[in-house]
């Protein structure tokens, strides 16, 4: 039921009078509220319906999927003045002109509510009910509002801009590499050791063990590991060294077999290739490493490569490889596993060095270009962080407004919501 | 049955641990059992959770009120194409589902990783080193400086377009030093994790199996 | 008797002892074998003395074998379980942050708990799960369980069975489907989280028992993450906390705390620092922290004693190892 505005005002005046009277009464010294609050006052207060909320406004949330409408209101005068009279607010909604149903509650003092159960394209009307022990008061209904969805979230414009710059750099450098221009990548320690390690295995007549991680082909580290496998396979095809590659994902087995086969073909040794070089063990993490440990201890590979994404099995493998005296070359971008490889292996490609090594060895334009493009991204991030840190430090330490503004702009630019 | 299960579990646990002494037949048996059972477990799990639970029940739902989701058939077809790898003549078809998986994951991860791991972290790194009006404690100031310098230096270390020489090389050295300290801290945490795994097994052996601890 | 015979005899003796202990426990010959205080102290002194002896041997040029290190770590981790020693675990800033977030959850709120681990990580994560869900049940907070790992929901059921048998929670007569629900496992890794952002039901059309989603009063009107007041993720790897933060928190605004194995906790600290994660518990010490904060000590606190002993032994061996290394280097230089 909608209350007319005039009726609302006269009730408000009544309540103001009551409130002022009560305040005068309370101001009398040495008399506490609990001593003077008679049961008749309480009864009177409890039976008077409350004043409704006012200025109820519904707005469609911007840059969403049409699934949220935000409501704001000015709380009931009874909420502000007579503490504890308002027990709750209830929010009612009508969907596409249908019956009004309760969609949520708010506690006394609240002046907002987010309705996240709306559907895109539907029209909604709301009202809020203020509740007391004695009654309820409905607010005026909002105008009909359609939950809209937007195509573009402009809050993320800087995310788009920076992403566009980095992606554009990647594309630019890929094209540059394709045109034959040499792209500089700094020397990576550990890469020279790859060929030496393969040579050692050949001299000792023992196989090479290659583990390309324990994750699937959707992990970019696995792809980097398989790319380096291509280089390693070409070398071992030339040297006629054996390779053993247990894998823990069937897709990786497929990709690895193709890679090794292609390398043997390129080396002119297709007859020397065998599918048995790569075998699937199990998806189970510790089952896989138990099998790898068994292979290491029994077949005693001279060289072990661990290049890809690893979890807890990394230390177990590296420790066993160390105990059999193999040369171990590792590379992973898992920060939690790098410590073990650094400690137990002879050479470790740390983090992005794995991808750099993959690009360096394959000389593939896409990988080289991606690496250079990422460097652009790193340069932007580094520059922004240095400028931002200096600006916010100087701005806040010496209260320099210009610096504070720069820092504030940078903070808001890098916010993603 | 419970007693047999306990003794089998204890046998397998001790068999795997016996590898610490040296490779032996007991370990080989346990390893083979573990590998076989885990491969079988994952096969059964994938079959009932994905092939049956998602694909079959999605297309032929048990609940008559539920609408069949025919779009799952596309996923099913891609899965069949993966198996065509076994037929050399049409094995090239298996590259398509592989491309789909790699592409879909890359597409999803591109924005979420960039937004959460780059943008938010850059925004969080921009902090006043000394606090507003020098309000930070000495501990916080040192911490803020270490985080800022460490982040910058580590980023410089991973910059591949410039040789590590001169001042740039010096900053890269600071970066690798910071990384090694981080690895040490991470190593310490991981040691705790490994000891916890061992504790779990010892709790089983001494508690559930032998009953010497409560 | 030759060496082999001794080995066989030793094996037979060990097996016999195990059988006797097993049978003895079942027929209640003994309650447990906890050490009295004097024995605990004696054991600690003996271990310390033997390690000092190893240090002396190392200095003399006879370094310890790797199997000795394994043996000492095994002893350091096993024997404290028989001792009546307790360790006070200081509460970390991140743990306190998590608990402060938990305290803000109102009774009647819906909490999503994602069990993203398997039995190997249970020693670290199971105590956290039990402590968190106990806290929820005691305060009439509703719990919705899912898992992105196949064994996750099974671990959840183990925790639920243990909690529902406790007198305080049993007295509450919690009803499945009303006070808590286990929606089971769903494969798809981060794609599941992405899809849950718009529609829970499409990812979990039924719970792990096969009950249709709409028939469950607790989740019947939960469409997506907006119907969830708080989320707690227990993670041992991938998919786990990182995916939840990247998608659930940053994309859909989920309020989330996490419990991780110690291995990956350090990788999550940047998310805590930036406010994406509202606190984190790391490893066994994290489990002990939440037990202490919720005032119900369990396996987390109990295991920290053995954990601490294990760490001390490893620190001593690191020192011994470094002594051996530097002596070896000096010898090489002299030669």
Sequence ranges of the domains in chain A = 5-146, 183-363
**Does C292 share its domain with C307?**
no
Q: At what angle do helices C283-293 and C93-103 cross, to 10 degrees?
A: 40
CB A361 within 8 A of CB A349: no
- Cβ-count burial of C43 within 10 angstroms (0-12 exposed, 13-18 middle, 19+ buried)? middle
**Does C279 share its domain with C324?**
no
CB C224 within 8 A of CB C198: yes
User: Residue B202 and residue C306: Cβ atoms within 8 Å?
Assistant: yes
| Each residue's pLDDT tens digit, C258-300 | 999 998 898 899 999 999 999 999 999 999 999 999 998 888 8
Could you give the number of structural domains in chain C? 3
Residue of B nearest to C32 (CA): B212
Q: Which domain holds residue C23?
A: 1-30
Q: How many CB atoms lie within 10 A of CB B47?
A: 11
Higher pLDDT, B144 or A17: B144
Local confidence pLDDT in tens for the 214 residues of chain B? 788 998 999 999 999 888 888 888 888 899 889 888 988 888 898 898 888 988 998 899 887 877 888 999 999 999 999 888 778 788 889 889 988 888 888 888 888 888 888 888 999 899 888 877 677 788 888 988 999 999 999 999 999 999 888 999 999 999 999 999 999 888 888 888 889 989 999 999 988 888 888 6
- Please tell me the distance from the alpha carbon of residue A351 to that of residue A356, in angstroms, as a whole number: 9
**Does C79 share its domain with C120?**
no
User: Residue C253 and residue A417: Cβ atoms within 8 Å?
Assistant: yes
pTM to 2 decimal places? 0.81
**Does C22 share its domain with C37?**
no
- Pseudo-torsion of CA A189, A195, A198, A200, nearest 10°? -80
A245 Cβ contact list (under 8 Å, min separation 6):
A209, A210, A211, A212, A229, A256, A260, A277, A278, A279
Q: What percent of chain A has pLDDT over 70?
A: 87
**Does C176 share its domain with C199?**
yes
**Does C106 share its domain with C76?**
no
CB A245 within 8 A of CB A212: yes
Confidence (pLDDT) at A83: 60
**Does C244 share its domain with C293?**
yes
Does residue C41 sit in helix, strand or coil?
Answer: helix
Confidence (pLDDT) at A40: 56
Residue of C nearest to A323 (CA): C66
Asked if pLDDT for residue A22 goes beyond 60, the answer is no
Residue A119 touches partner C, C-beta closer than 8 Å: no
CATH code that applies to domain A183-363: 3.40.50
At C191, which helix (H) or strand (E)? Answer: helix C190-196
Residue B123 touches partner C, C-beta closer than 8 Å: yes
Computed from CA positions of residues A288, A289, A292, A297, in that sequence, does the dihedral angle turn out positive or negative?
negative
CATH code that applies to domain A5-146: 2.60.40.10
**Does C191 share its domain with C141?**
yes
Asked if pLDDT for residue A18 goes beyond 60, the answer is no
Residue B47 touches partner A, C-beta closer than 8 Å: no
Asked if pLDDT for residue A15 goes beyond 60, the answer is no
User: Residue C226 and residue A67: Cβ atoms within 8 Å?
Assistant: yes
ipTM of the complex, rounded to two decimals: 0.84
List the alpha helices (DSSP H) in A121-243: 157-178, 192-204, 220-239
**Does C279 share its domain with C257?**
yes
User: Residue C223 and residue A117: Cβ atoms within 8 Å?
Assistant: yes
- Please tell me the distance from the alpha carbon of residue A145 to that of residue A120, in angstroms, as a whole number: 11
CB B133 within 8 A of CB A396: yes
Best of B160, B187, B190 to disrupt the A interface by mutation (most A CBs within 10 Å)? B160
* Per-residue pLDDT band at A217 (split at 50, 70, 90): confident
Asked if pLDDT for residue A41 goes beyond 80, the answer is no
Asked if pLDDT for residue C198 goes beyond 50, the answer is yes
Asked if pLDDT for residue C172 goes beyond 80, the answer is yes
Interface size A-B, in CB pairs within 8 Å, comes to 170
User: Residue A411 and residue B164: Cβ atoms within 8 Å?
Assistant: no
**Does C80 share its domain with C105?**
no
Written as six digits, the tokens of B213 are 């601890």
* Per-residue pLDDT band at A16 (split at 50, 70, 90): low
User: Residue C34 and residue B213: Cβ atoms within 8 Å?
Assistant: yes
> Do the strands A303-307 and A327-332 form a parallel or antiparallel pair, or are they unpaired?
parallel
Residue C106 touches partner A, C-beta closer than 8 Å: no
- The string of DSSP letters for chain B reads -HHHHHHHHHHHHHHHHGGGT---HHHHHHHHHHHHHHHHHHHHHHIIIIIIIIIIHHHS-SSTTSPP-TTHHHHHHHHHHHHGGGSGGGGGGGHHHHHHHHHHHHHHHHHHHIIIIIIHHHHHH---SS-GGG-S-HHHHHHHHHHHHHHHHHHHHT--SS-S-HHHHHHHHHHHHHHHHHHHHHHHHHHHHHHHHHHHHHHIIIIIIS----
Confidence (pLDDT) at B69: 87
Q: Among A216, A396, A415, whose Cβ lies nearest the Cβ of B128?
A: A396
Interface size A-C, in CB pairs within 8 Å, comes to 32
Confidence (pLDDT) at A81: 61
Q: Touching A: which chains, 3+ CB pairs < 8 A?
A: B, C
Distance from the Cα of residue B91 to its chain's centroid:
30
**Does C285 share its domain with C308?**
no
**Does C187 share its domain with C287?**
yes
User: Residue A284 and residue B16: Cβ atoms within 8 Å?
Assistant: no
């Amino acid at each position: 039921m909608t209350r007319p505005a005039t009726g609302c005002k006269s009730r408000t005046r009544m309540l103001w009078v009551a409130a002022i009277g009560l305040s005068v009464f309370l101001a009398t010294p040495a008399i506490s509220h609990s001593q003077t609050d008679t049961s008749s006052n309480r009864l009177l207060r409890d039976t008077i319906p409350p004043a409704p909320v006012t200025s109820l406004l519904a707005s469609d949330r911007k840059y969403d999927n049409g699934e949220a409408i935000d409501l704001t209101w000015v709380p009931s005068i009874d909420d502000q003045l007579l503490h504890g009279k308002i027990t709750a607010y209830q929010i009612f909604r009508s969907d596409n002109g249908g019956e009004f149903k309760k969609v949520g509650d708010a506690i006394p003092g609240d002046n907002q509510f987010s309705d996240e159960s709306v559907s895109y394209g539907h029209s909604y009307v709301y009202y809020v009910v203020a509740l007391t022990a004695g009654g309820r008061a409905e607010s005026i209904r909002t105008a009909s509002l359609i939950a809209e969805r937007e195509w573009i979230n402009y809050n993320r414009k800087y995310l788009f801009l920076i992403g566009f710059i980095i992606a554009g750099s990647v594309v630019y450098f890929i094209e540059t590499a394709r045109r034959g221009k040499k792209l500089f990548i700094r020397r990576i320690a550990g890469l020279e050791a790859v060929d030496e390690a393969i040579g050692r295995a050949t001299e000792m007549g023992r196989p090479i063990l290659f583990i390309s991680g324990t994750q699937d082909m959707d992990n970019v580290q696995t792809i980097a590991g398989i790319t380096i496998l291509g280089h390693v396979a070409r070398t071992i095809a030339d040297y006629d060294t054996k390779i053993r590659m247990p894998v823990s994902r069937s897709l990786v087995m497929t990709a690895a077999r193709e890679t090794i086969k292609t390398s043997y073909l390129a080396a002119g040794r297709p007859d020397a290739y065998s599918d048995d070089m790569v075998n699937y063990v199990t998806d189970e993490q510790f089952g896989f490493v138990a099998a790898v440990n068994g292979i290491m201890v029994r077949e005693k590979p001279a060289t072990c490569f661990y290049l890809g994404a690893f979890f807890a099995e990394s230390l177990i493998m590296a420790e066993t490889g160390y105990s059999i005296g193999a040369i171990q070359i590792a590379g992973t971008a898992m920060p939690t596993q790098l410590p073990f490889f650094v400690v137990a292996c002879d050479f470790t490609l740390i983090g992005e060095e794995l991808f750099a090594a993959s690009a360096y060895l394959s000389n593939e334009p896409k990988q080289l270009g991606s690496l250079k493009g990422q460097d652009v991204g790193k340069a932007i991030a580094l520059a922004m962080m240095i400028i931002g840190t200096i600006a916010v430090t100087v701005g806040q330490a010496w209260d320099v407004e210009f610096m504070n503004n720069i820092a504030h702009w940078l903070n808001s630019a890098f916010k993603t919501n | 049955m419970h007693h047999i299960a306990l003794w089998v579990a204890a046998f397998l646990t001790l068999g795997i641990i016996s590898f610490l002494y040296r490779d032996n037949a007991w370990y080989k048996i346990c390893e083979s059992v573990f590998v076989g059972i885990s491969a079988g477990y994952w096969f059964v799990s994938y079959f009932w959770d994905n092939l049956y639970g998602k694909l079959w029940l999605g297309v032929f739902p048990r609940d008559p009120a539920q609408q069949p989701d025919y779009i799952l058939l596309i996923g099913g077809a891609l899965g069949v194409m993966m198996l065509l790898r076994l037929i050399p003549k049409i094995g090239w078809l298996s590259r398509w589902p592989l491309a789909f998986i790699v592409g879909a994951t890359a597409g999803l991860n591109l924005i979420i990783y960039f937004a959460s791991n780059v943008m938010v972290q850059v925004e969080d790194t921009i902090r006043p080193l000394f606090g507003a009006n020098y309000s930070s404690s000495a501990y916080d100031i040192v911490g803020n400086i270490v985080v800022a310098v460490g982040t910058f230096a580590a980023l410089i270390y991973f910059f591949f377009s410039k040789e590590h020489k001169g001042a740039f090389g010096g900053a890269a050295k600071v970066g690798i030093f910071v990384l090694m300290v981080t690895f040490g801290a991470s190593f310490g945490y991981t040691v705790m994790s490994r000891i916890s795994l061992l504790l779990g097994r010892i709790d089983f052996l001494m508690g559930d199996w032998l009953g010497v601890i409560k | 008797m030759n060496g082999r015979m001794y080995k066989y005899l030793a094996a037979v003796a060990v097996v016999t002892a195990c059988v006797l202990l097993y049978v003895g426990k079942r027929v209640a010959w003994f309650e447990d074998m906890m050490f009295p205080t004097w024995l605990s102290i004696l054991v600690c002194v003996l271990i310390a003395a033997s390690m000092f002896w190893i240090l002396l041997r190392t200095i003399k040029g006879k370094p310890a074998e790797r199997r000795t290190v394994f043996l000492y770590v095994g002893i350091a981790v096993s024997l404290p379980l028989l001792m009546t020693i307790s360790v006070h675990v200081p509460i970390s800033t991140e743990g306190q942050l998590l608990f402060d977030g938990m305290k803000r959850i109102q009774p009647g709120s819906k909490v999503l708990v994602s069990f993203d681990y398997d039995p190997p990580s249970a020693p670290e994560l199971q105590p956290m799960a039990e402590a968190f869900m106990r806290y929820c049940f005691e305060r009439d907070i509703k719990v919705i369980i899912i898992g992105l790992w196949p064994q996750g929901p099974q671990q959840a059921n183990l925790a639920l069975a243990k909690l529902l048998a406790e007198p305080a929670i049993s007295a509450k007569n919690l009803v499945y489907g009303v006070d808590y629900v286990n929606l089971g496992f769903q494969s798809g890794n981060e794609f599941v989280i992405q899809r849950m952002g718009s529609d829970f039901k499409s990812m979990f059309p039924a719970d792990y028992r096969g009950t249709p989603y709409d028939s469950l009063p607790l989740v019947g009107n939960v469409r997506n993450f907006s119907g969830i007041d708080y989320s707690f993720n227990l993670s041992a790897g991938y998919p786990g906390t990182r995916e939840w933060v990247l998608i659930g928190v940053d994309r859909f605004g989920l309020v989330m705390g996490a419990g991780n194995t110690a291995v990956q906790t350090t990788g999550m600290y940047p998310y805590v620092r930036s406010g994406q994660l509202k606190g984190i518990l790391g490893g066994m010490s994290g489990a002990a922290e939440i037990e202490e904060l919720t005032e119900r000590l369990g396996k987390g606190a109990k295991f920290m004693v053995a954990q601490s002993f294990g760490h001390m032994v490893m620190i001593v061996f690191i020192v011994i190892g470094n002594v051996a290394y530097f002596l070896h280097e000096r010898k090489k230089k002299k030669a």
